[in-house]
Amino acid sequence: MKKLILSLALVGIASTVAFGQKKVVKSAEKNFSRGNLEEAYTEIKSAITDEETGAQSDTYFIKGKIETQMFEVDSSNTETTVAMGREAQQSFIKTFEMENADSTSKVSKDLFKEVLPDMPPNFQGEGVYRLKNAAFNKAIAKYEEEDMELSHEFFSLAADLDPNDTSIVFNAGYTANMVSNTEAAKKYFTQLLDVEGYNKLNAYYFLIQIASAEDNDPEEAYRVVTAAREEYPDDKGLAEFEIQLLLQLDKMDEAMVSIEKALESDPNNSAILLRYGYLKEKSGDLDGALAEYKKAVVADPEFFEGNYYAGAIYLDQARDIETEVNNLSDADWEAKSESMLAKSNSLYEEALPYFTKASDLQPDNTDIMEILYRVHSRLKNDSKVEEYNQKLTEKLGEGWLDR
């Protein structure tokens, strides 16, 4: 009989405790509705630890709603604010898990209820999308303050809450890239590649740049370029990236094929013409290389590299002749040296306008000034020699020639 009474007493105690925790949940809801967020939060955290109320999805949903409003009203927008937002996100994730990821259940419908402008409060969602909107607003505020670190944190939270919002996902990747968080940038830009109907070109460009520059992984950059070109075969920028990476990977045959194909549709692309010239130069075809470099300059007279490389070919050809002259026998010297050196000088003359233009485009480039000084010296253009000597003295100091 005593055992029976004891058992009944224990049942009564358990019922009282469980009922007490349910009252705590109710009290948390009331305090939440009245705006007493701190009191509500203390109560709901207590209810979470209870075996019965902590096993109910509603309890976690209420916790997430309270955390969302605490996140929303925190105007400090610091790392602490971010942490509260992430805590709310975890509460909502737990809620959905406890609903067996059933989006048709009543709790899940409330969890994913939209936030609609100009609608009464009772029609507004208080779950995932309210948290997302609050995170987005904080991200924009921090972006306008030029605090990119925290802007990224808030964009990241919003993107994780709604991966289908491509604009927010892109901004999460963009701000991650701005703060050199390459892993996060890759995560969000890669995520966009799986979205059907989305224009992924900018995401591809960022991924190529990250792989090539930040990660120093040309193989990965080339893999991304290849995938991008399958989707955007007519994009000229991707064609240039592909050629550049093929050259970097020393895949000369593939680079030649890619260049020739690109030039069929874009014959006046100065950057591709430059690379075509480079390939020909690597193969020993200096005349062919010079022809492509000159085409690049015709296509874009302000193209520094085109002017520089065209001038450099003329100098190489002139120096090759001088080397030949130095190796002539005494008999051949008398017969050939004068005409050969005249040819060499004519090549220096051909080089001058290209290096002069390159110097105009990069007026502080002392390497090109030195080339012009030496070419004018060779051609005995005394006034120009003095002009460049003065420029180099101003830039490098007296005695620059003896460095």
Instruction: Using alpha carbons, select from 194, 245, 224 the residue that is nearest to residue 232.
Output: 224
- Nearest Cα neighbor of 95 from 60, 50, 53 is 60
**pTM score > 0.85 for this model?**
no
As given in the structure block, the two tokens for residue 35 are: 């705006």
| pLDDT at position 17 over 80 | no
Q: Is residue 211 part of a domain?
A: no
Instruction: Say if CB 203 and CB 189 are below 8 A apart.
Output: yes
How much is the pLDDT for 11? 47
Domain membership flag for residue 381: yes
pLDDT digits (tens, 9 = 90+) for 333-362: 888 888 999 999 999 999 999 999 999 999
- Report the distance separating Cα 228 and Cα 207, nearest Å: 10
Given a cut of 70, whether residue 372 has pLDDT beyond it is yes
At position 84, the amino acid (one-letter code) is M
Q: Could you give the CA distance from residue 93 to residue 190 in angstroms, rounded to a whole number? A: 23
d(CA 143, CA 151): 5
Are 158 and 132 a contacting pair, CB within 8 Å? yes
In the structure, what pLDDT confidence band is assigned to residue 27 with cuts at 50, 70 and 90?
confident
Per-residue tokens: 116: 């609609």
Buried b (16+ CB within 10 A) or exposed e, 134-173: bbbebbeebbeeebbebbbbbbbbbbbbbeebbebbbbbb
Top mean pLDDT of 42-46, 319-323, 354-358 is at 354-358
First to last CA, the chain: 109
Does residue 258 sit within a domain? no
- Give residue 119's pLDDT: 66
Neighbour count for residue 16 (Cβ, 10 Å): 10
Q: Which one of 51-65, 119-133, 187-201, 226-240 scores highest in mean pLDDT?
A: 187-201
Average pLDDT, the chain: 90
pLDDT band, residue 94 (cuts 50/70/90): very high
- The predicted-structure confidence for 273-303, as pLDDT tens digits, reads as follows 999 999 899 888 999 999 999 999 999 999 9
Q: Would residue 288 count as lying in a domain?
A: no
In a domain, 208, yes or no: no
- pLDDT exceeds cutoff 60 at 9: no
| Confidence category of residue 216, pLDDT binned at 50, 70, 90 | very high
**Which distant-in-sequence residues (6+ apart) come within 8 Å of 308 by Cβ?**
354, 355, 358, 368
* pLDDT over 50 at 107, yes or no: yes
- Whether 375 maps to a domain, the answer reads yes
Rounded Cα–Cα distance for residues 207 and 189 (Å): 7
Check residue 20 and give its pLDDT: 54
Residue 345, number of CB atoms within 10 A of its CB: 16
pLDDT(241) > 50: yes
**Is 369 domain-assigned?**
yes
For residue 13, the model assigns a pLDDT of: 45
Amino acid at 54: G
Q: Kindly state whether residue 218 falls inside one of the protein's structural domains.
A: no
341, burial (CB in 10 Å: exposed 0-12, middle 13-18, buried 19+): middle
**Domain extent for 368:** 363-403
Q: What is the pLDDT of residue 122?
A: 64
Flag whether pLDDT at 5 surpasses 60. no
Q: Among 180, 117, 112, which residue's Cα sits nearest to residue 152?
A: 180
Number of domains, the chain: 1
